[in-house]
Amino acid sequence: MNVGILGCGTIGGGVLKLIDDLPASRNIKVLKVFDLPSKKEMLGDRFAESIDEVCQNPEIDVVIEAMGGDKFPYECIVKALKNKKSVVTSNKETVSLHIDEFYALAKENGVSFMCEASVGGGIPLICSLIDSIKVNDVDRIYGIINGTTNFVLTKMEKEGLSMEDALNEAKRLGFAEFDATADIEGLDMTRKICILSSIAYGGYVPYSEIYHYGISKVTKEIFEDLKAKGFTLKFVAESRRTGEKSARVSVEPVAVTKDNPLSAVNYEFNSVYLNCSSNDLLGFYGKGAGRFPTATAMVSDVRRIMENAGTYYYENSGNFEVDNFLSSEKYYVYKDGKSEIVNGVKDVSSYDFVARIF
């Protein structure tokens, strides 16, 4: 199987190395890599001057998109699919906005659209979700699906680092988004829970309607106060189906007690649970960010395409309504050095910090 890669940064470079290191018997080869001219020397003959050398190359079967962002990657994915190339992407930003169109184009052109690496890094999560919905309903998905913020919270809590220092380390290790605000304010998890929910429910859960708030205001004092009350702080996404065409979807900091398995998920690890109608609770755990875990998920997608296991097409049966959730849960609220537990919150911004009791 011949592959072309768009973007040779942390993730795309990881994919290139993993494929180059595979034994020849695995039959996967990278023919072309598109990136900035500064990568030309390193890539030699395989450097592609334009995306057309990848997306329209008659010798390439699979296009691996690892660039990040929306507009340009969107155009590249559409071009590749229309040219009957299967696409593998790790790009949650563009997938969360165009998932309907990408799957529809793949189906129309008889190729695969695969986005395992867009959620949960190296965890084989989307393929397991797709397997699950073939035999039972999945009506709740929850967990930690951002490695950077889990890393930051763990570093702050267990090693006493400041948020700034912890985030700088996450950036250095290649976990964070290009603009790390997407991690800290919950946009990245919002994109990921949009993708998981849409696939699980067979209907698009609009990304722009998912209410989220982040962890930028968490301090050492808040960690200490939570600890004194028996809690650990985690940043969690949850999607719960509430009706035929509605779901309660949230991305928010949560306070968990020690007996909640999420409290033991540390550093860049992710953990996700699926509530299945006949298979009960399914749990997943693994590295949710980082070069090789994410690259592994992408190479696994290429293998699935080779083995004809990439022929699932999500079809939107109608958009979902997303319920507002703030009024219906118990919250830990912190203001001016004091905290209390309240039923429902009207406005997160009227406190110094808010976390749902999970």
If you count them, how many residues does the chain have? 358
- State in angstroms the smallest separation of the CB of 251 from ligand HSE: 12
Residue 220 designated active-site: no
Tokens 């180059």 label which residue?
Answer: 20
Query: Given candidates 183, 185, 252, 301, which one binds ligand HSE under the rule CB under 6 A?
Result: 183
Cα distance between residue 34 and residue 4, in whole Å: 8
> Which x/- pattern, by CB under 6 A, does the window 273-292 give for ligand HSE?
---------------xx---
By beta-carbon proximity to ligand HSE, the closer residue of 181 and 317 is 181
Residue 176 touching ligand HSE (CB under 6 A) = yes
Residue 296 touching ligand HSE (CB under 6 A) = no
Question: Residue 135 — φ and ψ, nearest 5°?
Answer: -120, -15
Residue 185 touching ligand HSE (CB under 6 A) = no
Contacts of 5 (CB under 8 A, 6+ apart): 12, 15, 16, 30, 32, 33, 34, 54, 63, 64, 66
Cα distance between residue 253 and residue 240, in whole Å: 17
Residue 88 touching ligand HSE (CB under 6 A) = no
> Which x/- pattern, by CB under 6 A, does the window 113-152 give for ligand HSE?
--------x------------------------xxx----
Tell me which H or E stretch contains 356. strand 353-357
Q: Which stretch binds ligand HSE (CB under 6 A): 18-26, 173-181, 300-308, 320-328?
A: 173-181
Cα distance between residue 322 and residue 72, in whole Å: 28
Size of the site for ligand HSE (CB under 6 A): 11
Q: Active site residue: 32, 155, 192, 287, which one?
A: 192
> Which x/- pattern, by CB under 6 A, does the window 217-236 give for ligand HSE?
--------------------
> Tokens representing 239?
């999607």
Task: Please return the burial class of 284, using the count of CB atoms within 10 Å of its CB with bins 0-12, 13-18 and 19+.
Answer: middle
Q: Which stretch binds ligand HSE (CB under 6 A): 14-22, 169-177, 205-213, 238-246?
A: 169-177
Query: Given candidates 177, 238, 252, 301, which one binds ligand HSE under the rule CB under 6 A?
Result: 177
Query: What are residue 253's DSSP bridge partners?
Result: 235
Residue 267 touching ligand HSE (CB under 6 A) = no
- State in angstroms the smallest separation of the CB of 224 from ligand HSE: 25
Q: What is the DSSP string of 210-246?
A: -EE--STT--HHHHHHHHHTTEEEEEEEEEEEEETTE
User: Which positions are catalytic?
Assistant: 192
What does the binding site for ligand HSE look like in residue numbers (CB under 6 A)?
121, 146-148, 175-177, 183, 188, 288-289
